[in-house]
Amino acid sequence: MPGDDAGTYARPSHPHAADALHLISQSRLHAGFLLALVAIPLVWLLINRTTVGFRLRAVGYNPGAARAAGISVATTTVLAMGISGALAATAGIVQTLGIQHVMTPAVASGYGFDAIAVALLARSNPWAILPAAMLFGALHNGASFMQLQTQVSSDLISIVQASVIVFIAAPAIIRWLLRLREGQVAKVAITEREAISSV
């Protein structure tokens, strides 16, 4: 259905349905927060206490070893995408009904990248997702307030978030570089031994 502005499309808004989702009237706190509290232990149980979770972890840690153990990497990957997609869709529904009140193409712009950053900060631990998400939420909300009160660009918050991600990812990157270096050194040593033995 065409929207009011040229080139935009939107469904009719549903403010009454949105009011039913709000936990506190005249606030942005809605039922999505409760759904997150329910999803956290459920996801933890799925990952750590079920055979499906074992397959997900095995494929995530080492696809080659998982394949050698008889686990279908392709099927498990599709399953992981389906579970994460269902969680993302649920988040999008409550975000649309609870905050935006209308469906637009840009209703969830940037949230996917924020979710990746939150998962990195939480080290993919479901119990750490909530505090990590609240930290990023506080940074986002504080950015607008900071810009209004101090005239400091809200892009500073993006720099802070990027710095957090870099520091979190740095150990893994360093380990990868060290393994790459060790592999190159080992290849050189093997080549030298073969050259010496052939003389």
Given a cut of 50, whether residue 6 has pLDDT beyond it is no
Lowest mean pLDDT segment, chosen from 31-35, 87-91, 124-128, 190-194: 190-194
- DSSP secondary structure string for all residues of 139-197: HHHHHHHHHHHH---THHHHHHHHHHHHHHHHHHHHHHHHHHHHHHHHHHHHHHHHHHH
Tokens of 30: 């809605």
pLDDT value, residue 176: 77
Closest CA to 161 of 127, 145, 138, 144: 138
Place of tokens 């935009």: 8
Closest CA to 51 of 9, 79, 18, 13: 79
Task: Work out the number of other CB atoms within 10 angstroms of the CB of residue 42.
Answer: 11
Given a cut of 70, whether residue 5 has pLDDT beyond it is no
Q: What is the mean pLDDT of residues 171-175?
A: 78
pLDDT band of 164, cuts 50, 70, 90: confident
**Alpha-carbon distance values, 161 to 127, 134, 164 (Å):** 20, 13, 5
Q: What does pLDDT average to over the chain?
A: 79
pLDDT band of 109, cuts 50, 70, 90: low
Q: Give residue-wise pLDDT tens across range 28-81.
A: 777 778 888 999 999 999 999 999 999 999 999 899 999 999 999 999 999 999
Given a cut of 50, whether residue 150 has pLDDT beyond it is yes
